[in-house]
Amino acid sequence: MTTTRSNIETKCVLVPDLTDANRNWFAKLVIIEKSPIRYGKDTGTPYQKYIFADASNNTIQASVYDRDIEDLDPILQLHCTYYIGNAWITKIASPFFMASSPYQLTISKRTFIHAVPPDNALPYEHCYQFTPFHELHSFIGDDNTRISILCVVIHALPPRTVPRGNRYVPIQEFVVLNEEKRPLLFTMWEEFLPSKGAQLKNLIPHQPIIIIARPKVNTHHTISIGTQATSIVIFNPQIPQAALLKQWITENTTYMQTVTREKLYDKAHQRVHPPIPSQLREIYAVDPATQQTKPFWIKAEIRIRNNNSRFYFLSCPNPTCMKPTGADIDTDFTCFFCRMTYSRPLARLRFETQLCDNTGLLIATIEDDYAESILQTSVHEVIRMEQTEEQLDIAAINSRLQNTHYYIQVRNTTRSVQFTHNPRYIIVAYLPILPQPHIASTTHPSNTESEASGSTAIPAPTTDDYTSTSRLAIASASESTNKEERSQLQSKHPLDPSSEITPKRHKP
Ligand SMILES: [Zn+2]
């Protein structure tokens, strides 16, 4: 490898020229992301992922596999520039799309790799474009998003296990922040824990700044982010944006302590954001036959569905478990989900609602704080009434709810395709909208879907933490464009602890 610098420079092409038709090439590339060593799901083969950028900020992903890792891992360093030549180029399948190029490089010991001296290196600072926290809600459920987040990690929650597919897996949740002062939960899934989880936990006293590239944005905890297969976490990046954040941290230590002490990252303090138009659906367009794993929004009225079922159920009191139990309300029991022994079950509100818009009707379950705000009655009061054989006045509650429209976020929790004739929906978030007196609410079209989905009594309890609204609180929206709606919804500051359960209570 005696090629001189100038010689190679003239041969170098940009990323768009790197295609599977190009078999003899050199490129000058800077590493802007580097993953730890991971293992193939099916094969167990070790691999390492890189993202390279060229001088025009085109990016291409690269992988090193198996026995090449040991030799190339020490050579290929984050933020260093290399001349790379004749790595194998293949087209990528879209689920693993990480960079701007639809191709990827496979780098091996046969690949030409030559480190570029620092005085001729490519800049990399401009390669990072960060998404503000307040824009995250528009990426919910978009698994293929290539956004990045810059944040400081201030706290680690106790490790816990959650259901994933047919088994329980460990996760680690962190509280992250940036200058926007919107504390966010960041979940590291099991494949990231050995390499990055422990390292990050140890760094927390030093307020580590991290880049989370390609997080999954989801609605657990109103808005939260988590790792997915294509995510890469970069620790303490040496870029100007991180230096600014570092400065902000030194000026906001009191606020950061408050976040941890008062758990401002908790659901009770999180805001529900109104949906963007592309997330809104009319009920007739909700297809119960498809397995809708992503939550969707509808704009509808809510009615309590009086089907003579209980308005509550009993669950494990362990806040990280909350699974249903058949135990009696005043009997100690052992939870076989989390192994908690001899505790009283926790009573939680849960009942069915009918959600109606001008196009149809959907049966959905509502739970916990959301359920309480609809009933305006606590679970203890509901139990007391049951014990004294009093009846909840459902007609009166429905009459109060009439003419109030809500943005309602719904998730299909139907577990198996064989049950799709009987889909189960659960309300995961909702926001009241001011009453709209001109919309007649009494003429909902009778529809067969409601009959089909309404034939169950109380649906079987969901076992998925992420489909449960447990501990969800109602918060105010801040981004409504409707002036009246905004003044109505902003009556409580989102960080005001008293805003925990404060949907506006409308008069009928
Ligand atoms: Zn439990």
Per-chain residues with Cβ under 5 A from ion ligand 1: 316, 318, 321, 335, 337-338, 340
CB 345 within 8 A of CB 317: yes
- The torsion angles phi and psi of 233, rounded to 5 degrees, stand at -110, 125
81 or 458, greater pLDDT? 81
> Quick one: 122 and 156 in the same domain?
no
Confidence of residue 414 (pLDDT cuts 50, 70, 90): confident
Confidence of residue 474 (pLDDT cuts 50, 70, 90): very low
487 or 137, greater pLDDT? 137
> Quick one: 154 and 195 in the same domain?
yes
Amino acid at 132: P
- What are the helix (H) ranges across 402-481? 448-453
Half-sphere exposure of 366 (CA within 13 A, CB side): 24
Amino acid at 155: H
Highest mean pLDDT among 172-181, 402-411, 490-499: 172-181
Least confident among 217-221, 241-245, 354-358:
217-221
Ligand 1 centroid–CA 363 distance in Å is: 28
> Quick one: 429 and 323 in the same domain?
yes
pLDDT, the chain, mean: 80
> Quick one: 11 and 118 in the same domain?
yes
> Quick one: 119 and 202 in the same domain?
no
For residue range 102-132, what is the model confidence (pLDDT) as tens digits? Answer: 999 999 999 999 999 999 999 999 999 999 9
Residues pairing with 176 in the sheet: 153, 184
Least confident among 172-176, 183-187, 293-297, 445-449:
445-449
> Quick one: 136 and 44 in the same domain?
no
Residue 197: what pLDDT? 87
Rounded distance between C-alpha atoms, residue 218 and residue 293, angstroms: 11
- 62: nearest Cα among 73, 48, 44, 46: 48
Asked whether residue 271 is assigned to any structural domain, the reply reads no
CB 25 within 8 A of CB 85: yes
502 or 116, greater pLDDT? 116
- Global pTM exceeds 0.85: no
Ligand 1 centroid–CA 325 distance in Å is: 9
Residues pairing with 352 in the sheet: 365
Rounded distance between C-alpha atoms, residue 116 and residue 109, angstroms: 18
How many domains does the chain divide into? Answer: 3
Among 126, 156, 172, residue at a domain's last position = 126
Asked whether residue 33 is assigned to any structural domain, the reply reads yes
Ligand 1 centroid–CA 468 distance in Å is: 14
Structure tokens at 89: 């180029």
Asked whether residue 456 is assigned to any structural domain, the reply reads yes
Ligand 1 centroid–CA 313 distance in Å is: 14
- Burial label for 18, CB within 10 Å (0-12, 13-18, 19+), is buried
Place of tokens 């009997």: 331
Asked whether residue 270 is assigned to any structural domain, the reply reads no
Ligand 1 centroid–CA 425 distance in Å is: 23
Amino acid at 496: D
pLDDT at 478 over 80: no
Contacts of 274 (CB under 8 A, 6+ apart): 407, 431, 477, 479, 480
> Quick one: 230 and 296 in the same domain?
no
322 or 394, greater pLDDT? 394
Least confident among 4-13, 38-47, 458-467:
458-467
State which H helix or E strand residue 429 sits in: strand 425-433
62 or 504, greater pLDDT? 62
Ligand 1 centroid–CA 345 distance in Å is: 9
Strand ranges for 9-127 from DSSP E: 26-34, 38-39, 46-53, 59-65, 81-85, 88-91, 103-106, 112-115
State which H helix or E strand residue 297 sits in: strand 296-304
What CATH number does residue 136 fall under? 2.40.50.140
Rounded distance between C-alpha atoms, residue 252 and residue 212, angstroms: 22
For residue range 362-391, what is the model confidence (pLDDT) as tens digits? Answer: 999 999 888 998 999 999 999 999 999 998
pLDDT at 331 over 60: yes
- What are the helix (H) ranges across 38-80? 67-72
For residue range 278-294, what is the model confidence (pLDDT) as tens digits? Answer: 778 899 988 766 655 66
Give me the mean pLDDT over the 151-161 stretch.
Answer: 92
Ligand 1 centroid–CA 339 distance in Å is: 6
- Using CA atoms in the order 28, 30, 35, 40, what is the torsion angle rounded to 10 degrees? -10
Confidence of residue 458 (pLDDT cuts 50, 70, 90): very low
Asked whether residue 255 is assigned to any structural domain, the reply reads yes
Ligand 1 centroid–CA 336 distance in Å is: 6
Among 96, 126, 156, residue at a domain's last position = 126
pLDDT at 48 over 80: yes
Structure tokens at 327: 């135990």
> Quick one: 231 and 210 in the same domain?
yes
Asked whether residue 323 is assigned to any structural domain, the reply reads yes
Least confident among 172-186, 288-302, 476-490:
476-490
- Range(s) of the domain holding residue 92: 5-126
Residue 123: what pLDDT? 94
Ligand 1 centroid–CA 156 distance in Å is: 21
Rounded distance between C-alpha atoms, residue 427 and residue 171, angstroms: 24
Asked whether residue 272 is assigned to any structural domain, the reply reads no
> Quick one: 465 and 325 in the same domain?
yes
pLDDT at 3 over 60: no
Ligand 1 centroid–CA 168 distance in Å is: 13
Least confident among 72-86, 185-199, 456-470:
456-470
pLDDT at 33 over 90: yes
Ligand 1 centroid–CA 335 distance in Å is: 5
> Quick one: 94 and 179 in the same domain?
no
Ligand 1 centroid–CA 324 distance in Å is: 8
Asked whether residue 505 is assigned to any structural domain, the reply reads no
pLDDT at 12 over 80: yes
Confidence of residue 470 (pLDDT cuts 50, 70, 90): very low
Among 65, 91, 126, residue at a domain's last position = 126
For residue range 418-451, what is the model confidence (pLDDT) as tens digits? Answer: 544 567 888 988 888 865 444 443 333 333 333 3
With both helix axes pointing from N to C terminus, report the angle between 368-375 and 394-401 in degrees, rounded to the nearest 10: 90
For residue range 60-106, what is the model confidence (pLDDT) as tens digits? Answer: 999 999 999 999 999 999 999 999 998 999 998 766 678 989 999 99
Residue 43: what pLDDT? 86
Residue 124: what pLDDT? 94
